[in-house]
Amino acid sequence: MGSIQLTYDQHVAMVTIDDPERFNAMSLSMWIVLGRAFEEIEQNPDVRVAILRGAGERAFVSGANISEFETLRSSEASVGHYNHSVAQAQDAITHCRVPVIAAISGICYGGGLGLALSCDLRYASPSAKFRMPAARLGLGYGYQGMKSIVQNLGPTAAAEAFYTAKVYNATEAAHIGMVNSVQDDVFAHCTEVAAQIAQNAPLTVQAAKQAMLCIASGDTSQIARIDQAVDACFKSSDYAEGRLAFAQKRPPQFTGH
């Protein structure tokens, strides 16, 4: 069966969905472990950015492991447990303290597309293909999953993707906002973007992510918490370091404090 690999390189966490023989299809256990991996990242103060990818180049995630459906999605209770596990994993990515970058190569279908849309930034290889095939499988799609699609693609593009279950190539995906851009070496590009983010002031980046999440969801109840995060930026030693580095015309050395 597949696994979830979590590794660290300085301030960057790398999460790899590892089952290349099944095109990185997600089993129930993988959904659960994926959520735990991002909970670990959330609690690691040294991490400033995370990259999510599939093992190999043939697939990011081809969707759910359908072979499990007969046993793990065959009753109301089992469907509820499965959907809850998927939602928990996606929510852990969306609300992760640090930005999450999806490095997408090859197939990105169904649950894979849902995972990608949970990330802050998404980059695709020229070989990437995207599809929301729920309507071809007879699967119901819940509020949270549909909300993510609509927020990222807009209602018209989301309707086309969901109603038609068509396959989008990488260029088409970039055109409708599924991905930020198409890159010849998507893994090298995502590593470079992650390094750029990791060099910036962590408190500033994290406060910005909190604000963007609240704006996207329309959740005004979190404004006070965002204001506190912004205030912490101005009170931090990184703010002093940023101004000093600018005056001295050198790269800043941020600590996250």
Q: For position 75, what pLDDT does the model report?
A: 64
Say if residue 130 is in the same domain as residue 240.
no
Cα–Cα distance for residue pair 194/100, rounded to 1 Å? 9
Q: For position 216, what pLDDT does the model report?
A: 87
Range of the domain at 170: 3-197
Residue entry with tokens 């969901």 = 162
Q: For position 248, what pLDDT does the model report?
A: 97
Asked if the structure places residue 18 within a domain, the reply is yes
Say if residue 228 is in the same domain as residue 190.
no
Asked if the structure places residue 253 within a domain, the reply is no
Cα–Cα distance for residue pair 10/49, rounded to 1 Å? 10
Cα–Cα distance for residue pair 137/109, rounded to 1 Å? 12
Say if residue 133 is in the same domain as residue 222.
no
Q: For position 164, what pLDDT does the model report?
A: 96
Reported as a single tens digit per residue, the pLDDT across 67-126 is 766 665 556 776 778 888 988 999 999 999 999 999 999 999 999 999 999 999 999 999
**CATH number, position 105:** 3.90.226.10
For 5, half-sphere exposure in the C-beta direction (CA atoms, 13 angstrom radius) is 14
The secondary structure element, H or E, covering residue 123 is strand 121-124
Say if residue 20 is in the same domain as residue 113.
yes
Say if residue 184 is in the same domain as residue 209.
no
Asked if the structure places residue 190 within a domain, the reply is yes
Asked if the structure places residue 126 within a domain, the reply is yes
Cα–Cα distance for residue pair 181/189, rounded to 1 Å? 10
Mean pLDDT by 10 residues, the chain (257 residues): 94 97 94 97 97 97 77 66 88 96 97 95 98 87 84 93 96 96 98 98 96 89 91 96 96 95
Say if residue 132 is in the same domain as residue 208.
no
- Report CA-CA distances (Å) from 171 to 52, 60, 178: 21, 16, 10
Question: pTM for this structure?
Answer: 0.93
Q: For position 114, what pLDDT does the model report?
A: 92
Identify the domain boundary among 197, 214, 239.
Answer: 197
Asked if the structure places residue 129 within a domain, the reply is yes
Asked if the structure places residue 35 within a domain, the reply is yes
The count of structural domains within the chain is 2
Asked if the structure places residue 86 within a domain, the reply is yes
Please give the full DSSP string across 17-48, using - where no structure is assigned.
EE-GGGTTPBPHHHHHHHHHHHHHHHH-TT--
Asked if the structure places residue 137 within a domain, the reply is yes
